[in-house]
Structure 1
Amino acid sequence: MKSILYTLLLFAITVNAQTATKEQIISELPEIEITEGINLHIISPEPIQYVDLSTAQLTGDLPTTNIARIKITDEQKSDEKVKKVNHSAFLDRDKIGIITVMGQSFIAQYKAVYRNSENLNTVTNIHIQAEAMQPIEFDKMIFSNLELRKFAVDIIQKKSENNPIRQEKDFNLSFQLNNVYVISDYIFLDMTFKNNSNLSYDIEALKFSIEDKKIHKATNNQSIEMMPLFQLNPQKHFKKNFRNIYVFKKFTYPNSKVMMIRLIEEQLSGRTIEMKVNYSDILKADTF
């Protein structure tokens, strides 16, 4: 256990030590080819925060959080100055533009070069490779979704479902908190849902909130909803068993309050089950 934690901390320190982004010059940028009338999809291993296209010859959008879609600007949409020159001159092989993609923990830059549409080997998508990524320097240790996923997968591989910290049973359902883990400023909740009925379960919502332990009057109840930063599986349906990891930024709450977790079924006559988690359970969080 300690050796694993030491390895993770050493990795984090190494990453932080290498976050000074070196200077980049255009001639050293990796090239990607782009063709008129064909979209180029740049696929990132983590959510894209920002994309810059250095010239009007390129246009694009973000159809999903991990994909940047880029194409050569249509001739009729180029500005008036460009319209006065031949379109082939507009598509200067060496000056078509620089594409910059910024993820949560890296920046990647490419030099876009023109490829004739008659060539049948046109590339339509590329994955950002590790060698193209330059780490971004942060003031605090911040993990990207890709890193959080790696940690969550490590937790899933542990055999920790037999002795849960908390467990609730109702409607032939079993809802358990297997364990709580912490690394840096992140809290990982390892949870398992078991359905002992023959009726499959459609999840409408899994809600997390901080609430008063004792409610003297309904109007005095203060509920603060909490949203996970990341969850390993976005699954909304399960027949028998479903295990998932939910990640939160570090939080605290007094002994007079509890974390309330509610599993809510989709149908009108849905089966709802609740679990109360004391702060002492969070304080006993394990490392990994």
Structure 2
Amino acid sequence: MKKIILAVQFLLCSMTLFAQKTGTLTVSEIPVIGISGSVSLHFISPEKISYVDLSSPSLIGDLPEKNILRVKAAPDSIPALLSSGEAGLVTIVGETFISQFRLCFLPSQKSEYVSSQVEILPQYMRPLDISGASLSTPELKANALSILKLRRKEHVNRTTGYGIFMTLNRVFTLGDCVLLDLSFKNATNLIFDVDELRFKLEDRKVNKSTNVQSIELKPVFSLYPFEQFKSSFRNIYILKKATFPGNKVFNIELSEKQVSGRNLKLSIHYSDILNADTI
């Protein structure tokens, strides 16, 4: 019997040492959250939630917002949960972190230990060290806001037509991203209802005998939604950094809704990207 106990102790000790060496997380180290059958539990993430795993079929969850996970006990599982107490693990993956929580099902008599909200704080996060990972949404927003506070310099380029002005104020680079500071001005009495703002790589010179090659680049982040402007509007757009040869030009196209000829195109030369400021 003593040999068995010693063997178990040795095994547990070996598992602990292995966990410490490999950086694994044991179930006993995971924070415990109390839930009940009458209260939904909301996890609030500082970043967009990209992946969720609920280890038990007794749990159901959804994402009412991109950074909020709602979890509750399945009604038909409540009797079993009351008897066992263990409701399972919740795994939440953001853009730069992973967090896990153990859920403990509590009877109504212990409602003072039941949580309705859990803010995912830094102490609950384990960083995802992925080579080449992009900036998180909060980081992108913080850098975009910092650009708005900078003193204006001479603009990079400007185009105008039909009383509408589109100005590229400055270009910045940050990691693997390009940040464009754009301003729009409406000198007319008609509100400009935005249909699309598109970013394209296109051939500089087009021959009739050749096919036009156009590559559209989608922003990974924009500071504000852009739907209309009456007088003026300024926004920061963030795109993945792209290189293009001298026979290509980077165009920004603004078009208006409905039947309208108020469409503008602004070009950015590769030298403007190469000479961009860094944040």
TM-score, normalised to structure 1, is 0.81
Counterpart in the other structure of 2:221: 230
- In structure 2, relative to structure 1, the CA distance for the partners of 1:217 and 1:125 (3 Å cut) is farther
Tell me whether 1:139 sits opposite 2:131 in the alignment: yes
More divergent stretch after superposition (235-244 vs 259-268): 235-244
Q: CA deviation at 1:67?
A: 2.1
AA in 2 matched with 1:189: L
State the Cα distance separating 1:188 from its structure 2 match: 0.9
Two-structure CA RMSD over aligned residues (Å): 2.4
Unaligned runs of 5+ in 2: 1-20
Contact 2:82 2:106 in 1 (8 A): no
Counterpart in 2 of 1:125? 117
Counterparts in 2 of 1:18-97, with a 5 A limit? 22-75=23-76, 87-91=78-82, 94-97=85-88
Report what 1:15 is aligned to.
Answer: none
Q: Residue 71 of structure 1 aligns to a residue in which SS?
A: strand
| 1:179 and 2:170 matched | yes
One-letter identity of the residue aligned with 2:180: L
Partners of 2:209 and 2:167 in 1: how far apart? 28
SS in 1 for 2:278: coil
CA distance 1:97–1:222, change in 2 (3 Å): same
* % identical equivalent positions: 39
CA-to-aligned-CA distance 1:126-164 (integer Å, 9 cap, x gap): 33222211111112252111211111111121123x521
Q: Which residue of 1 aligns with 2:257?
A: 266
- CA distance in structure 1 between the aligned counterparts of 2:264 and 2:83, rounded to whole angstroms: 62
Greater C-alpha Rg? 2
* d(CA) in 1 for partners of 2:49, 2:36: 23
Q: How far 1:32 sits from its partner (Å)? A: 2.6
Describe the shift of the 1:264–1:124 C-alpha distance in structure 2 as closer, same or farther (beyond 3 A): farther
- Counterpart of 1:152? 144
Larger relative contact order (CA 8 Å, sep ≥ 6)? 1
Alignment length (residue pairs)? 258
